[in-house]
Amino acid sequence: MKRYFLEMRFKPMPQYREGALLTDGAGKTSPVGKMFIQPQVTLESGESVLLDEVIGANFAIIGWGCNPQWGLDAGQIARWRAIGVRFIQVVPEVQIHREQDNAPGTLRVGDTQNRLKSWFALHNTAIAVVRPDRFVAALAIPQSLGAQLTALAEKMALATGDTARAEREGGLICMPICTVSPTPRWWDS
């Protein structure tokens, strides 16, 4: 056992406590600041891929059984879309081919292994905000998502100006994610 630790075969999961995340009220068992799981999901086309492939190098707002845009106003949706967020609705795999009313720009995926259902149930939440480095930035329910994203945007110094103008001009309206924590700095162009 001693050799196992000495040879660094044991690698504890990293956890952030500050930076581009909302830890207010988060207890020791909270997933905020920890890596999000990466299960297999089924696309509407029927293809099975890793959730990582769906998210890409972007922020993701992932809702279990709910559309993650429901709790947001048009300005919030535009602000987060401007930095390339992926809005992802996860449903049980048997429901992936059912006709559903999705908001434009929301990707719907099926929970192939039921790992996402278990994760959201374990943490008693419906929505997770996941950073590009796959760490959980915040948890919410549809009714609190708008306030959570506003607080996260303030922490990230996300511009609150004219998002429509910024989109027209092709400018990204995001500043570095963090300046004082060990969290990586993200590109700003």
Domains of the chain and any CATH numbers = 32-167 (3.40.30.10)
Please determine, for residue 82, whether its predicted confidence score (pLDDT) is greater than 50. Answer: yes
Instruction: Determine which helix (DSSP H) or strand (DSSP E) holds 117, and give its type and residue range.
Output: helix 115-122
Mean pLDDT on 120-133: 95
Whether the CB-CB separation of 80 and 149 falls below 8 Å is answered with yes
What is the pLDDT, as a whole number, of residue 164? 47
**pLDDT of res. 26:** 59
Q: Are 174 and 20 in contact (CB under 8 A)?
A: no
The span from the CA of 85 to the CA of 58, in Å, is: 6
pLDDT over 80 at 182, yes or no = no
Give the pLDDT confidence score for residue 142 in this predicted structure.
Answer: 93
Q: What is the pLDDT of residue 31?
A: 87
Q: Which residues neighbour 14 within 8 Å (Cβ) at sequence distance 6 or greater? A: 34, 35
Tell me the pLDDT band of 167, cut-offs 50, 70 and 90: very low
**Model-level pTM?**
0.76
- For the chain, the average pLDDT equals 79
